[in-house]
């Protein structure tokens, strides 16, 4: 394996090019090892074999920590072997110890693009364009070519949402594989699904606004109008309505105002000026 194009040695002088820069093209698996470490010697041939087996979908970079102590310190290596995976210039996950090959494959498969991922990306684009049945056909094709791709389950949730089958989508999202159940994309879907469910069979935005203008105490209209605004991307307008709902009626729909605000914070990644502003307003109002 010494001459494999998929296995490289990384040093302080080359780490930027062979790991950081290279990780923008494909994932780089960095094996921090030492010659005195028996588990390291057990793990190295397994990793090299996997690098060959995966055919260059990732690069294996080996770092001898006895010779590269500064690199080991920089990346917080405290036990050996430690294996980190880099994507887009940064370490995104790691494992420690000489894991069995099957567990290492599971680790890799969480981070390495599969051929069917391209089909699922195309399906997402079609759903965004309203071409739902064409997207369904691509998802089915991906299932036939790569039934073990865990992201198929996520695509199926998106398809149910695109079809307006919100109850089924709610069930499906709770059955997602554990390895993706808390991905940012899944959290985003949960938030979108919450607001999409809220406006099922609801009037359009103009009608809801008219109802609220004529009766400021119409909490249902306020809640549904906020959901309509979320779904068209007006997060500030939605937050203002939900904040008013929280202040007016904590009992409405099991504290829907506060919970809706929290869901929008999640949709926005939990940061930014809008989140900070409304989080402070919510805390002040509550406490």
Task: Choose the catalytic residue: 37, 51, 194, 275.
Answer: 37
Instruction: Say how far apart CA 29 and CA 21 lie, in whole Å.
Output: 13
Q: Is the peptide bond before 141 cis (omega within 30 degrees of 0)?
A: no
Instruction: Say how far apart CA 30 and CA 16 lie, in whole Å.
Output: 12
Is the Cα dihedral 124, 126, 128, 131 positive or negative? negative
Q: Which residues of 163-191 are buried (b: 16+ CB within 10 A; e: fewer)?
A: eeebeebbebbeebeeeebeeeebbebbb
Question: Residue 65 has what DSSP assignment?
Answer: T
Annotated active-site residue 40? The verdict is yes
Instruction: Say how far apart CA 118 and CA 146 lie, in whole Å.
Output: 12
* Strand ranges inside the chain, DSSP E: 7-9, 28-33, 59-64, 82-87, 90-96
* Strand ranges inside 88-203, DSSP E: 90-96
Task: Choose the catalytic residue: 8, 28, 29, 40.
Answer: 40
User: Could you tell me which residues are beta bridge partners of residue 82?
Assistant: 32, 96
Question: Residue 29 has what DSSP assignment?
Answer: E
Q: Which residues are catalytic?
A: 37, 40
């Amino acid at each position: 394996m010494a001459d494999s194009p998929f296995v490289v040695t990384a040093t302080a002088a080359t780490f930027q090019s062979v790991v950081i820069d290279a990780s923008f093209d494909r994932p780089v698996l960095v094996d921090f090892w030492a010659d005195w470490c028996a588990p390291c010697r057990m793990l190295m041939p397994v990793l090299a074999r996997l690098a060959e087996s995966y055919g260059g979908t990732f690069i294996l970079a080996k770092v001898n920590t006895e010779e590269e102590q500064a690199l080991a310190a920089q990346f917080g290596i405290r036990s050996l072997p430690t294996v980190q995976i880099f994507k887009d210039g940064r370490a995104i996950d790691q494992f420690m110890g000489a894991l069995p090959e099957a567990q290492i494959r599971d680790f890799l498969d969480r981070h390495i693009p599969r051929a069917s991922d391209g089909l699922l990306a195309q399906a997402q684009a079609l759903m965004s364009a309203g071409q739902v049945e064409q997207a369904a056909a691509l998802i089915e094709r991906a299932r036939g070519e790569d039934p073990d791709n865990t992201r198929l389950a996520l695509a199926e949730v998106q398809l149910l949402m695109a079809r307006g089958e919100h109850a089924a989508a709610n069930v499906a999202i709770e059955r997602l594989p554990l390895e993706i159940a808390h991905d940012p994309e899944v959290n985003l879907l949960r938030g979108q699904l919450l607001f999409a469910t809220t406006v099922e069979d609801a009037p359009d935005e103009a009608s809801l606004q008219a109802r609220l203008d004529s009766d400021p105490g119409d909490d249902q209209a306020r809640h549904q109008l906020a959901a309509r605004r979320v779904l068209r991307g007006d997060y500030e307008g939605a937050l203002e309505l939900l904040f008013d709902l929280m202040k007016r009626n904590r009992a409405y729909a099991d504290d829907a105002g506060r919970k809706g605000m929290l869901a929008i914070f999640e949709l926005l990644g939990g940061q930014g000026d809008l989140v900070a502003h409304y989080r402070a307003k919510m805390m002040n109002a509550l406490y």
